[in-house]
Amino acid sequence: MAVVSGDGDLIASSGEIDRPFFLRSAAKPFQAAVSQQEGAALQPAELALAAASHDGEPVHVAVVESMLAAAGLDSSALRCPAIWPLSESATRRHQALGRDQPQKIWHNCSGKHAAWLRASSAGAGPIESYLAPDHPLQTRVARFITDLGEYPVTPVGIDGCGAPVHRTTTRVMALLYARLATLPVLEEVFSAMHRYPALVSGTGHGDAEVATALNAVAKRGAGGCIGVAIDNRLGLAVKSWDGSQEVADSAMVSTLLALGELPPHAVAQLLTIARPPVFGGGRPVGELEPLVELTWS
């Protein structure tokens, strides 16, 4: 994990902070910012969905449908795979209504894709090839993240949703989130994510809970990483090398506590994330205990 100030200075760290990995969905706030800069013209709730890994609840799907409709498009334009919603309750509702096939619009990344389609329809590049790594919009995203993090994100990979995915390190990711917390060019994205944390993921997720409890925003990424931007002050990044999101979220809360960033109400609100239960035989038999040892710079 790494903690970086708004000036870009490393404040504290633990573990292998310079080991490369892919940002995955933790890049979405910056991808959303580029979509907006390139003409997507998203309203705040839509901008939150552009930065989201959503659960596929009805409100998430409705906002994505509205994003597409404003550009004269529908879900057939999406190039993400068709899946069932991440939310089990949303999936059960669809199945109870007789829907027996997964849909693209239920994909947790459909908001990001819809934002790219909005930007493309506004002139940022061809609509049909918006996922190509050499698409003008995607090259703009890669340059933007490279410049913000002062670290080359290439060569890009391909994410689970089919989008280009960007290389980083824990130190660089913390700097990116420090920029999200402090730079005017990212203020609109920060504000939307903070205003609508349940649209950025769903209820009960670590990133949404942090944005609810603190004057901050957070975004998780597949493979066990999470970034936190504390308004006008700090960026924090955690990467779990075994890919566990529970471990990353727990370490995130523990780091915030060590930094003195959690008032009493937030400690209580984030307790289940900080110390999630461990199950054995179908019943809770213990809890995950974070053992964070920070090195202060």
Give pLDDT, residue 290. Answer: 87
Strands (E), the chain: 2-5, 10-13, 21-22, 157-158, 164-165, 167-168, 216-221, 225-230, 234-239, 277-280, 283-287, 295-296
- Residue 151: enclosing H or E segment and its boundaries? none
* Rounded distance between C-alpha atoms, residue 154 and residue 292, angstroms: 31
The owner of tokens 């942090």 is: 210
Structure tokens given for 60: 């998430």
Is residue 231 within 8 A of residue 210, CB to CB? The reply is no
Give the pLDDT confidence score for residue 292 in this predicted structure.
86
Q: What is the pLDDT of residues 90-134, one digit of tens each?
A: 999 999 999 999 999 999 999 999 999 999 999 999 999 999 999
Task: Give pLDDT, residue 252.
Answer: 96
* pLDDT tens-digit series, residues 4-51: 999 999 999 999 999 999 999 999 999 999 999 999 999 999 999 999
Rounded alpha-carbon distances, angstroms, from residue 108 to 68, 165, 214: 15, 15, 24
Q: What is the DSSP string of 62-85?
A: HHHHHHHHTTT--GGG--SPPB--
Q: Which residues contact 32 (CB under 8 A, 6 or more apart)?
A: 42, 47, 50, 51, 112, 115, 189
- Spatial distance between the Cα atoms of 214 and 212, rounded to a whole number of angstroms: 6
Instruction: Report pLDDT digits (tens) over 41-77.
Output: 999 999 999 999 999 999 999 999 999 999 999 999 9
Domain boundaries, the chain: 1-19+169-297, 24-164
Report, as an integer, the average pLDDT of 147-174: 96
Q: Is the pLDDT of residue 291 over 90?
A: no
Average pLDDT of the chain is: 96
**Model confidence band, residue 155 (pLDDT cutoffs 50, 70, 90):** confident
Rounded percentage of the chain residues whose pLDDT exceeds 90: 96
